[in-house]
């Protein structure tokens, strides 16, 4: 699927203002509401744009701790990777997980109600591949910049 300027603008607008009305969106991109809606539906069907999320202000809602975790596997077999991935996906507290190149194998972001709970999760992760996994925890002190979408401007074209 190739994107003209209008579809790009739809994507970047919906990325940052998911609850905009179709009419407003149509105005912004210079289409009629019906055409605009057609485009949005196509972008959704093609899965260029996925779920729409409300961003919660967690500190205002409940007590919580956020931890960024680096993981290295001593046994870097495909099997070990898959085992760890599956386990990470199964934990709702693991809100984000990546495999990476370089000096670590995984980065996780974990959110728990308190340190005791975090510690329990940490232990569970260590138990996945006993003795074969190296985990370092980094408690988040401040969120300097929360994720608010990708910079499409700097990514597309040029």
Partner DNA sequence: GTTGTCACCGAATTTTATTTGGTAGGTTGG
Partner DNA sequence: CCAACCTACCAAATAAAATTCGGTGACAAC
Of 109-128, binders to a second copy (CB under 8 A) are 109, 111-113
Q: Which does 144 bind (CB under 5 to 8 A by kind): a second copy, DNA, none?
A: a second copy
Question: Using CB under 8 A, which of the segments 23-31, 72-80, 123-131, 141-149 binds a second copy?
Answer: 141-149
If one asks whether residue 21 binds a second copy (CB under 8 A), the answer comes out as: no
If one asks whether residue 33 binds DNA (CB under 7 A), the answer comes out as: yes
Distance in angstroms (rounded) separating the CA atoms of residues 5 and 75: 47
If one asks whether residue 4 binds a second copy (CB under 8 A), the answer comes out as: no
Between 33 and 72, name the residue whose CB sits nearer to DNA: 33
Contacts 24+ apart (CB under 8 A), 47-56: 48/1, 48/3, 48/11, 49/11, 49/14, 49/15, 52/14, 52/18, 52/19, 53/18, 55/146, 55/148
If one asks whether residue 14 binds DNA (CB under 7 A), the answer comes out as: no
Interactions with a second copy, residue window 74-93 (CB under 8 A): 85, 88-89, 92-93
- Sequence-distant (6+) residues with CB within 8 A of 80 are 73, 129, 132
Q: Where do we find the tokens 């929360």?
A: 146
């Amino acid at each position: 699927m190739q994107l003209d300027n209008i579809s790009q603008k739809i994507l970047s607008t919906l990325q940052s203002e998911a609850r905009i009305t179709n009419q407003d969106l149509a105005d912004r991109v210079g289409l009629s509401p019906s055409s605009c809606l057609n485009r949005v539906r196509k972008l959704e069907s093609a899965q260029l744009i996925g779920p729409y999320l409300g961003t919660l202000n967690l500190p205002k809602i409940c007590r919580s701790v956020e931890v960024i975790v680096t993981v290295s596997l001593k046994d870097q077999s495909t099997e070990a990777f898959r085992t760890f991935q599956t386990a990470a996906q199964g934990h709702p507290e693991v809100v984000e997980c990546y495999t990476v190149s370089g000096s670590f194998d995984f980065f996780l972001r974990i959110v728990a109600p308190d340190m005791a709970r975090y510690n329990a999760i940490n232990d569970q992760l260590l138990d996945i591949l006993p003795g074969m996994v190296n985990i370092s925890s980094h408690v988040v002190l401040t969120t300097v910049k929360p994720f608010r979408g990708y910079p499409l401007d700097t990514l597309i074209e040029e």
